Homo-oligomer: A and B are copies of this chain.
């Protein structure tokens, strides 16, 4: 389904006066800040939607019935992301997963995406599952595998994914490896690292000149004893050995309990090796919950480091890193879940932009810990939603995307178009 311009205008009209009032209140409170510059950055900021997060997710205990209307092919997935982007103007990219999303006709797919204002973000390879008819199995790993034939198959798959990405205009490859072990003794850790590195080097050498490779790390799951790219330290080792085009990718849910993710972000930026971000939230492990639903303050603290670190390096916020959501929607309508995630991200980004950085530096120089906290929490406790809404308004999107999505009964329309029992590919 498409959302018409006039539907959005009508929605915005109904909310505009209240919105203006709140915005004016905010502007008067933050008169010392160039709010227009903040709004411009918010308008420019885009978070890619992964093609596998448009359907109902599940766990190893099963997947419950979808709410219906899930996309069953790439075209419909693009349509869904287009719908989100029309609503919030912050989802202007889609990140494809190969082999779930191999386009039959790349040019046609590109045109379709462009018609929604969408670009193709990082492409993602899959060596954590066996595909029907594959000669060899990834049961004991892919790029790390003791058997050269398995490594070769996995390398070739990644190179194939790059090719698919080139055809669509992507400029980065995300390599998430499930490789690791379930039991002590199963792996020689060093050999696993060396095999993985050699495999990554072959893939790296197939990267086009303008491409980046993101090496994602994860502490555990689906392997439950060791993971071969298990933490940021290991990912950075690989990225440094690979070369300038290789970067570390941070997924919020891929850490041991209590990890200080914002510090990791800061250090990776310092090293020039932070490549991108997968947003979600979690309480226990890689729970893949809606971004900001569990630890919104942590999300703000991470953005605080991102803004500080990117500014220190002179990086463009919108294009300097790869921004993506990576979540699983087990009990929510996937599109509503994504709208909530993006709203949380935009709020955290706005909060980070409004931190009084000069005062913070001064307080840090004085070891005035109380004041440092006051400065951060002053912004966090402020209600910046009107600024985020204004950014949407300026870009022609909806003041209240989730409300409009519900008011327009989008899911019902999608069910009408696609049926009740459709199931999207994904986890």
Say whether A233 contacts B230, CB under 8 Å.
Answer: no
Closest Cβ–Cβ distance, residue A219 to chain B (whole Å)? 7
Say whether A219 contacts B364, CB under 8 Å.
Answer: no
A263: B residues at CB distance < 8 A = 189, 226, 230
Closest Cβ–Cβ distance, residue A271 to chain B (whole Å)? 7
Indicate whether A40 reaches chain B with its CB closer than 8 angstroms.
no
Say whether B289 contacts A182, CB under 8 Å.
Answer: yes
A337–B368 CA distance with the chains assembled, in angstroms: 12
- Given the contacts A58-B60, A190-B267, A139 and B295 also touching, CB distance less than 8 Å: no
CB interface residues, A 279-293, toward B, < 8 Å: 282-285, 287, 289-290, 292-293
Closest Cβ–Cβ distance, residue A301 to chain B (whole Å)? 5
Copies per complex of this chain: 4
Closest Cβ–Cβ distance, residue A17 to chain B (whole Å)? 12
Closest Cβ–Cβ distance, residue A137 to chain B (whole Å)? 6
A128: B residues at CB distance < 8 A = 61-62
Indicate whether A270 reaches chain B with its CB closer than 8 angstroms.
yes
Residue of B nearest to A376 (CB): B185
Residue of B nearest to A217 (CB): B233
Indicate whether A305 reaches chain B with its CB closer than 8 angstroms.
yes
Residue of B nearest to A271 (CB): B237
- Given the contacts A260-B226, A380-B296, A284 and B283 also touching, CB distance less than 8 Å: no
- Given the contacts A190-B267, A271-B237, A375 and B138 also touching, CB distance less than 8 Å: no
A20–B332 CA distance with the chains assembled, in angstroms: 40
Say whether B185 contacts A375, CB under 8 Å.
Answer: yes
Indicate whether A370 reaches chain B with its CB closer than 8 angstroms.
yes
